[in-house]
Amino acid sequence: MLLACLLTLLLTSVAAAPLGRWLGRSAGYVLAVPLLGVAVLLTAAVVDAGVVTQSVAWMPTLDVHLAMRADGLSLLFALLVTVVGAAVLVYSARYLGAGKQSSFYVLMTAFAAAMLALVLADDVVVLFVAWEATTFCSFFLIARSGTHAQEPALRTLLVTVFGGLLLLAGVITMAVATGTTQLSAIITATVWADNPTLTTVVAVLIAVAAFTKSAQFPFQAWLPDSMVAITPVSTYLHAAAMVKAGIYLLLRFSPLFHGVTIWHILLITCGVITAVIGATAALRRFDLKELLAYSTISQLGFLVAVIGVGTTYALTAAVIHTLAHALFKAALFMFVGVLDHEAGTRDIRELSRLRLTMPVTKAAITLAALSMAGVPPLLGFVSKETLFTAFPETPGPAWTGVLVTAVMALAAIFTFVYCGRIVFGTFTGDGSRGTIREASPLLWGAPTLLAAAGLALGVAPFVLDPLASSAVTAASRSDVHTHLALWHGVNTALVISLVIIGVGTALVVNRVRLEPVVARLRFPFSALDIIDATRAGIITAGTRIGKFSGTTSPRLHLGIPAVVITGMAAYGLTEVGSLPPVIGSTSRPFDWVLVVLILAGTIATVRSRTRIAAIVVTGVVGFSMTLWFFTLGAADVALTQLLVEILTLCVMVLLLRRLPRRFSTDAPRRRIPAIIIAVGAGLATVVAVWALTGRRELSAAAEYYLTQGEETTGGANIVNTILVDFRALDTLGELSVLGVAGVAIATLLYSRKPIPIHSADLDEHSPLADSRRNTVFVRSLSRVLGPLVVLMSLLLLLRGHQEPGGGFIAALIGGAGFTLLYLAAPSDTAARVRLPFLKLIGAGIVTGVGTGLIGYAKGSFLTPIHMEIFGWHTTTALVFDLGVYLSVIGVILAALNLLGRQHRVSQQLAWHDPDDPGFVHDDTSTHDTEEVTTR
């Protein structure tokens, strides 16, 4: 049944979209029906059974159920949501402008559904979900009012979500502490009495969550701010329903935290402060909607404080005042909307210059305002009587009760005065600005009913006894029978009421003289400033933190890992003692020659001022490494190192001519930390290499490769058989990496023009200046060397399986051949090697993967297949090597072609030209006119 009610409202929300489109604003009439239906259904069910529960599995693994429970308290709030909701929807049907109103009705009905789920939830997780759902509906309803509403909507969201997350923290704590998520079980759990600290923590979490939602000090600022929303939204969310979610939460958890000192202190203090702040602020406002917003804050303060008092009588007062407030505040808001709709202003000063011939509006506003002021015989009087009967019961020392009562009486006097301002300010018009006539009954009908209900229930409050009794019973967990009456005889509360009315009347009469006095009653800062300052502070702090790594300079991004590595090494030093001993000797005399060479090269590299010097000395390191690899017995690696070194040097030179001659120099204050970090990281690496190598015999895998490698693959070159037979997947990955690097070079240089070439300041009249003639030597040399390089490259490709060589080395030598062609050419244009390098890369990768796939014929991916062809031992590993070859050649050609020439759009895709298949384009005319002379 309860789920059916919830489902009805959800379906209403779904139906609101097409209805809002077809019927426009009139959809409100239709949508009000299911809300009223749900109200009737729920009332019938609860009256019939007392407490109704229903539960279906939702997330059984988390033990979270879609559990619903309707008792008196839930019913009270559910009625509030549905009846006021229906009234607002009917009102909206005439308040809104003509046209499609889908989004408004969808959000409003979704909000009603969320609110119903909130008050019916018997699972704390469902409670939290519904809580956040109301927050988001509220956010969207405020935000849809236009661009000026974005900031208020955002602030509302931030404040209420902050509270919502505290609620989540509370929910999780409760679920963990009690082992269940069932709300009714949590409240009756025994763990709360056993663990006061835990109870206190949860009490604070729940209280603060409720404070944000119900706009209590210090979170009250979002509510007046959110008045930018249209009146029906303000009425429903910010007067009757959403702000009551916090009140509901406090009432619901009231039995659990009754007696927890901090709960009472927090609620009473914040409630009293809020009541006074809100009432004072309302005294100063001229915009009726703002005035009502502060009045709402103030009234919610009364409610929170009285819940904080916590006696059964106090809870009765809370329940009755919730109801009274919902009735009169909804009516007031809607009638402010009527005034706004008809007169075009909500400002008291403007309205007082208008003659309002609006009898119904006048009567209803007066009725609602009297109820808010607490004048008999209205419901507001009854609720205020109960409030002031409850306040003296404040727990703690006797003076607290007196103090709270006195301060609240002051707030009530303020309330009386601003109610007077509403009525007299609005209706004592002098008519100098024209006459405003009564609105359509369709517009004032629903709010008038609410205002009249305040009167009817005030005259006959005993009608509410059953509802109030069951609600207070639920909120206090003890059987309570309330006896509401207009006349309780002469008692303290009546005296207080008389004082309030008397002083209030006197102040209202003198309200013109009062205005300059209250105008000064303002805080030196507004709470909005605090929210904005907090936001700005968070953003500033985030920017500061982000700046630590928010740089494109590689310095920092390299520095952090270097420091971390140093730290790791420092920690590792503590474990050095447990290392196994070094096996044999790990150094020979010859190594020291190399160490000295490499050290000299490295120091020179970091100290070099010009880029060419840096490249030359890096070459020293590279060639020394070649020699080192060779002396360590790694012929293949030495060859690869040598070739990569030379090709890198050639490519760096291609880049160098686009860069300034010298490096930019850093200030010492940046260099010194860099030196410290570098030395630290270097020492860390030395320690790691010293500690972690040379301390074991040959690995089992190496043993296998050395003894069984040749037998398994038929290849004597272990390095090459590992690369193409045993661990060919690595090689496939590497050749893809190279291919992708080629594609990346192409993509980068096609999409973005590189820096122009800085040309050197050369003597143009020198005999050396003519590039046609001065390249004769290299060109002649390349005639001889070219074929040799090609032969060498092929030889190394074919013999790789048995002797040093293989795909990588062969391709690097081929690449060196192309580099030779590039260097020998007399001009940049002629230097282009017209091979489709991207297609070569593609072919290389396809060959590699294809060879791998052939392996499935025998075993699995990348298994080489051996065969004898004409007595030659042949294997698919050779084809795989060919793939490596093509890919590497492709990337070298990409670098030469794209970096080695002027960037010109017309030539970018020239290698597509099918009429020009030659290796070297023989065009000798130079187009190098784009050169920029810089120095």
Which residues of the chain form contacts with another protein (CB under 8 A)?
Answer: 590, 593, 596-597, 600-601, 603-604, 607, 610, 612-613, 615-617, 619-620, 623-624, 626-627, 630-631, 633, 635, 638-639, 642-643, 645-646, 649-650, 653-654, 656-657, 661, 757-760, 762, 771, 774-775, 778, 785, 788-789, 792, 803-805, 809, 813, 816, 819-820, 823, 825-828
Pairing assessment for the beta strands 355-357 and 435-437 based on DSSP bridges: parallel
Residue with Cβ nearer another protein (603 or 689): 603
Give Cα separations from 308 to 243, 301, 900 (angstroms): 17, 10, 81
Residue with Cβ nearer another protein (915 or 922): 922
- Assess contact for 307 and 216: CB atoms under 8 A: no
Write down the least CB distance from residue 832 to another protein, Å: 14
Write down the least CB distance from residue 920 to another protein, Å: 14
Residue with Cβ nearer another protein (397 or 633): 633
Write down the least CB distance from residue 682 to another protein, Å: 20
Residue with Cβ nearer another protein (8 or 648): 648
Residue with Cβ nearer another protein (428 or 774): 774
Write down the least CB distance from residue 709 to another protein, Å: 17
Count helices and strands in the chain by DSSP H and E runs: 39, 8
Residue with Cβ nearer another protein (590 or 704): 590
Write down the least CB distance from residue 669 to another protein, Å: 26
Write down the least CB distance from residue 603 to another protein, Å: 8
- Assess contact for 639 and 627: CB atoms under 8 A: no
Nearest to 290 by CA among 25, 536, 526: 526
3-state secondary structure 160-211: HHHHHHHHHHHHHHHHHHHCCCEHHHHHCCCHHHHCHHHHHHHHHHHHHHHH
- Assess contact for 102 and 85: CB atoms under 8 A: no
Q: Which residues lie closer than 8 Å to 442 by C-beta, 6 or more apart?
A: 90, 93, 94
Residue with Cβ nearer another protein (459 or 627): 627
Q: Which residues lie closer than 8 Å to 595 by C-beta, 6 or more apart?
A: none
Cα separation, 299 vs 278, in Å, equals: 8
Write down the least CB distance from residue 809 to another protein, Å: 8
Residue with Cβ nearer another protein (181 or 782): 782
Name the CA dihedral angle for 819, 820, 823, 828, rounded to a multiple of 10 degrees: -60
Residue with Cβ nearer another protein (10 or 620): 620
CA atoms within 13 A on the CB side of 311: 15
Q: How many CB atoms lie within 10 A of CB 482?
A: 25
Beta bridge partners of 795: none
Write down the least CB distance from residue 874 to another protein, Å: 22
Residue with Cβ nearer another protein (488 or 661): 661
Write down the least CB distance from residue 665 to another protein, Å: 18
Residue with Cβ nearer another protein (259 or 786): 786
Write down the least CB distance from residue 793 to another protein, Å: 10
For the record, the structure tokens of 735 come out as: 């050749």
Cα separation, 774 vs 780, in Å, equals: 11
Residue with Cβ nearer another protein (373 or 821): 821
Nearest to 7 by CA among 124, 123, 119, 112: 112
Write down the least CB distance from residue 904 to another protein, Å: 15
Q: Which residues lie closer than 8 Å to 135 by C-beta, 6 or more apart?
A: 157, 160, 161, 164, 213
Residue with Cβ nearer another protein (32 or 650): 650
What sign does the dihedral 270-273-275-281 (CA atoms) show? negative
**CB neighbour class for 918 (10 Å; exposed up to 12, middle 13-18, buried from 19):** exposed
- Assess contact for 295 and 372: CB atoms under 8 A: yes
Nearest to 413 by CA among 372, 377, 383, 454: 372
For the record, the structure tokens of 866 come out as: 């051996």
What separation, in Å, do the N-terminal and C-terminal C-alpha atoms of the chain show?
Answer: 88
Q: Which residues lie closer than 8 Å to 419 by C-beta, 6 or more apart?
A: 369, 370, 372, 373
Write down the least CB distance from residue 788 to another protein, Å: 6
Write down the least CB distance from residue 816 to another protein, Å: 4
Write down the least CB distance from residue 558 to another protein, Å: 25
Residue with Cβ nearer another protein (627 or 688): 627
